[in-house]
Amino acid sequence: MIFNLKDNENIPIKLPFATDITLFLKREDKIHSFISGNKYRKLKYNLLEAKQSGFTKLLTFGGAYSNHIAAVAFAGKTFGFKTIGVIRGEELVDKITQNPTLRFAQECGMEFKFISRDIYRDKTSTEFLNTLKNEFGAFYLIPEGGTNTLAIKGCEEILTESDKDFDYVCSSVGTGGTISGLINCSKLSQQVLGFPALKGSFLHEDISKFVSKSNWKLIEDYHFGGYAKINVHLVAFINTFKKQHNIQLDPVYTGKMMYGVFNLIKKNKFPKGSKILAIHTGGIQGISGMNKMLKKKNLPLIEI
């Protein structure tokens, strides 16, 4: 299996309001236009393991707009696995063509099982997993959001030797897998700052399980009310960022992280002379789904 994972370019971001701070953005989003940078990193060693253990099917879980579902579907198509997506929400069964993420996943050959929110909550119970085994046969299980030990190993390849001079590494946080990899491959002279995209007091503990260093911190002021919750300020920020820097951010993860980084710089929270590297983890495929929702509410759209 060939993974085309290069060391992604760091692009300087001009900061007219803070000339004493250097900010670069690592373009992990460039790994693939539809597959989030970090989701591909997280899949790499899992797919190698699945293949080595003789599995031909991957099964995973996700919501209707999940970057992870899109990534697993595409990876399955690319590397020759059948894929099964267990999707939260029974009502979506006849809305596949209206949902850009599910439509893409289906075009990649993913088979779906739609389940109620109640069952979804218990999706990793032995009982439910046995039901899935009876229905689909043997499969390699990838957890929701893709985070496990092998996923973190993949994310340990995001930072390279040439990134060693940055003082801060900033990343969006969902389940905490990506930041765990970043912490593990960071230098002790660096501080890793995580910007959770959701309210989750459990995150600190989850990340602590995967890392042994303490050069990291979660900044919990920029989740905008919760997972996939956004407001007009965030949309305006993403649109302005695109106009000024010609880089697309996504509303669920990287938009919030970047908003937070800019806000902290403006509030002089970084010492003068700081060199900051923010990771663009991707997520662009989620924009059209978010825009559908914004359109329904008659709110300004994210420009793409």
Ligand X SMILES: *Cc1c(COP(=O)(O)O)cnc(C)c1O
Where on the chain is the footprint of ligand X (CB under 6 A)?
36, 38-39, 67, 145, 147, 172-179, 250, 253-254, 281-283
Nearer residue to ligand X within complex by CB, 168 or 253:
253
CB of 209 to ligand X, least distance (A): 13
CB of 60 to ligand X, least distance (A): 13
Nearer residue to ligand X within complex by CB, 131 or 288:
288
CB of 298 to ligand X, least distance (A): 26
CB of 175 to ligand X, least distance (A): 3
Residue with tokens 């003789």: 54
CB of 272 to ligand X, least distance (A): 29
CB of 146 to ligand X, least distance (A): 7
Nearer residue to ligand X within complex by CB, 145 or 289:
145
In this structure, what token pair is assigned to residue 264?
């902290």
Nearer residue to ligand X within complex by CB, 5 or 136:
5
Nearer residue to ligand X within complex by CB, 140 or 253:
253
CB of 296 to ligand X, least distance (A): 23
Nearer residue to ligand X within complex by CB, 176 or 289:
176
Nearest to 277 by CA among 8, 23, 30: 23
Nearer residue to ligand X within complex by CB, 175 or 239:
175
Q: Which amino acid is at 8?
A: N
> Do 198 and 262 meet the contact criterion of CB atoms below 8 Å apart?
no
Sheet (strand 57-62) strand order: 111-115, 82-88, 57-62, 140-142
CB of 148 to ligand X, least distance (A): 10
Cα–Cα distance, 199 to 75 (Å, whole number): 29
The backbone torsions φ and ψ at residue 66, rounded to the nearest 5 degrees and listed phi first, read: -65, 125
